[in-house]
A and B are shown apart, each in its own frame.
Chain A
Amino acid sequence: MRAARQWHDKSRDREMEMTQADTSDVLIDCRSVWKVFGDRNAEAIRAITERGLTKKDILQEYNCVVGVSDATLQVRRGEIFCIMGLSGSGKSTLIRLLNRLIEPSLGQVLVKGRDIAAMDAATLRETRAHHIGMVFQSVALLPQRTVLENAAFGLEVQGVPKDERNRAAEAALAKVGLSDWKARYPSELSGGMQQRVGLARALTSDPEIILMDEPFSALDPLIRRQLQDEFRQLTKDLGKSAVFITHDLDEAIRIGDRIAIMKDGVIIQTGTAEEIVMNPADQYVADFVAGISRLHLVKAHSVMIPAAEWQGTAEGLPRCSPEADIDTLIGQITETGSDAIAVEDAGKLVGIVTIRNLLQGVRGDAVAAAA
């Protein structure tokens, strides 16, 4: 497994180089942000950092509710960043700290390099109007307005002339496939369509960042999956960045480039879906990822036997890249009838995946072995 580890490190180095090269590409920089609700929040935060009190102790001793404690995250340009947590984990509070719908108790949130807490009311409004869009779980459409008027509402509030804002709203509605519904009222639309209007409204103002607060949680599973795929595609096509809140790990994995897992207001682990599934930070995360299908998550480099430890020959074996997922590998094996696959990175043999490795990968044994 040493080679696998090495490959991991290499890719991480590459990632590090990239982030160092483009620090300006960090759109949202959230630095040790705290939100404790209650009059004695400053004392409560000190008690947590100095005495290590838990959420429960804080409620008893200071009558304060810990929403978010010491959250640090970076959202980069073009990435979809998922925040996953169960109800009460503080994820909805965290997303509201990012556009200052909730004032942080401590810490700093930089949006495109500017401290959002230091902004005056007008600058904050300007930032919200042009740079950060938001989509709500409850959709929050205005019932007395048509779909078009709802989609144009953000621009209307900014005082954009009617022709111009309607043109922008029509374009946004076309992107979410609702052009034929623009003259209807929200009550005439299904839940999935309403949420598309919510997304169109956020897109109309053309912000770089879209905050999605559990947008698909109230939808039925089929529609939800469809919207997840559409949303990911649309965000990538338009080059937007998004922060996506969800309580569903499957959803986070489908949508997110990176995932942060929250529990009791703390971000326990941040990483790609594969990193989290292969390398859970603690038992809580491990329990969470236990039921996740690894077919599309686990890649060849994580399950392979390194070339140095392989006694047999690689001659005549089918080839694959280190990034090929287990599903692809199983496909190759069933098609070719071979017992193993050679993993090649840039034309060089780096390892071998056997059927046994694949089965371990599917079950998650490889995770234990790697850790």
Chain B
Amino acid sequence: MTFNPGAVLAPVVDWLNANFHPFFALVTQLIEAVLGALEAAFLTLPPAGLIALVVALAFFAAGLRVAILVGCCLGFCWLMGLWQASMQTIALVLVAVLIAVAIAFPLGILAARRPRVEAALRPILDVMQTVPPWVYLIPAVMIFSLGRVPAIIATIVYGIPPMLRLTTLAFRGVPADLKELGQAIGAKPRTILWKIEFPAAKPTLLVGLNQCILLSLAMVVLAGLVGAGGLGAEVTRGLTRMEMGLGLRAGLAIVAVALLMDRLSRGALQRERRKR
């Protein structure tokens, strides 16, 4: 005897598709619009101009070393002839990480406060991290069709668990005496969260953000597979045509983008500490 969950789920997906199509179309349009605007913004300036701008921003936000590294990474993408693809990938990952953090951060705090929430979330997170994305890409593609939206959904699903787990860990690790201090001086819960807990949790939160960014980039190739373009599409093309040069160039560009985003976010968020 076999049980086929697909037989149960497929009609559900069909039903959703038939009855909620306007809603899904709206979501698609929204994400496409945000991504399109971001890409357009990146691509209006000539590459050299954008590189100069980002390096200058990085210098003020995170210091000289980060600025040099950022310049090298962007310069590499440009020299490899993958400028447009790199910008598409950065836009995709940026939006995916923002959405993933927006979901994972509050849930992570909630899980840190309520053990039951954490117990309920843990198996869900395990599933999200271990189920191969191809599996949930099928319904995602069925509902949102090919393109950037299913790609971004896969990326978000993959990016949430590390951020959520490390947010919980970070807020659990805030020393109890600091929280007690907040109560004893008559601080509001929100003030305690932002002025006491958040600064104390920041180092661990940064690790979470770093993991979120890197794992999101790992999904870029898959995004290329479902037609989201970007560096993933270049890697896929290299594979299908057996062009090792193209695959290698695109792969190294992904590494460059990962370095860029990680160092830039870390440097900017750690700025206050470095003032010492």
Binding site for B on A (CB under 8 A): 99, 101, 124-130, 132-134, 136, 138, 140, 142-144, 153-154, 156-158, 185, 201, 205, 211
Contact = CB atoms under 8 A, between A and B. Distances in A.
7 contacts: A125-B186, A126-B186, A128-B183, A129-B186, A138-B177, A142-B200, A143-B200
Interface string B175-208: 1011011111111100100011001100000000
Interface of B: 175, 177-178, 180-188, 191, 195-196, 199-200, 272-273, 276
Contacts of B178: 140, 142
A205 B185 contact: yes
Contacts of B185: 128-129, 133-134, 153-154, 157, 201, 205
Given A153-B185, A157-B185, A140 B273 contact: no
Contact of A144 (B182, B183, B199): B199
A130 B185 CA distance: 8
Nearest to B178: A140
Given A144-B272, A144-B273, A127 B186 contact: yes
Nearest to A122: B188
Nearest to A157: B187
A191 to B, nearest CB: 15
Nearest to B199: A144
Given A126-B186, A140-B177, A142-B200, 6 more contacts: A128-B183, A129-B185, A132-B184, A142-B196, A144-B273, A157-B187
Nearest to B182: A157
Contacts of A133: 184-185
Given A136-B177, A140-B177, A125 B187 contact: yes
A140 B186 contact: no
Contacts of A185: 276
B16 to A, nearest CB: 43
A72 to B, nearest CB: 23
B195 A157 contact: yes
Per DSSP, chain B at the interface is helix
B183 A140 contact: no
B186 A157 contact: yes
A245 to B, nearest CB: 14
A-B interface, 10 closest residue pairs, ranked by CB to CB distance from nearest: A129-B186, A128-B186, A125-B186, A134-B184, A157-B187, A140-B181, A140-B177, A154-B185, A138-B177, A144-B199
Contacts of B186: 124-130, 154, 157-158
A101 B187 contact: no
Nearest to B273: A144
Nearest to B180: A101
B55 to A, nearest CB: 28
Contact of B199 (A125, A140, A142): A142
A153 B196 CA distance: 10
Contacts of A99: 184
B177 to A, nearest CB: 4
B244 to A, nearest CB: 48
B272 to A, nearest CB: 7
B183 to A, nearest CB: 6
Contacts of A158: 186
Nearest to B196: A142
Contacts of A134: 181, 184-185
A185 B273 CA distance: 11
A185 B276 CA distance: 8
Nearest to B179: A140
Nearest to A158: B186
Contact of B180 (A129, A140, A156, A205): A140
Nearest to B181: A140
A210 to B, nearest CB: 11
B199 A157 contact: no
Among B187, B191, B199, B272, residue most surrounded by chain A Cβ atoms (within 10 Å): B187
A185 B275 CA distance: 11
Contacts of B187: 125, 157
Given A153-B185, A157-B195, A140 B175 contact: yes
A154 B182 CA distance: 9
B89 to A, nearest CB: 34
A13 B50 CA distance: 86
B204 to A, nearest CB: 14
A129 B199 CA distance: 22
A130 B186 CA distance: 8
A134 B276 CA distance: 28
A136 B188 contact: no
B199 A136 contact: no
Nearest to A136: B177
A136 B272 contact: no
Contacts of B273: 144
Nearest to A202: B185
A198 B173 CA distance: 22
Contacts of B184: 99, 101, 128, 132-134, 211
A154 B178 CA distance: 13
A226 B180 CA distance: 27
A144 to B, nearest CB: 5
Contacts of A143: 200
A133 B186 CA distance: 9
A27 B7 CA distance: 72
Contacts of A144: 199, 272-273
B191 A157 contact: yes
A211 B191 CA distance: 22
Contacts of A124: 186
Contacts of B181: 134, 136, 140
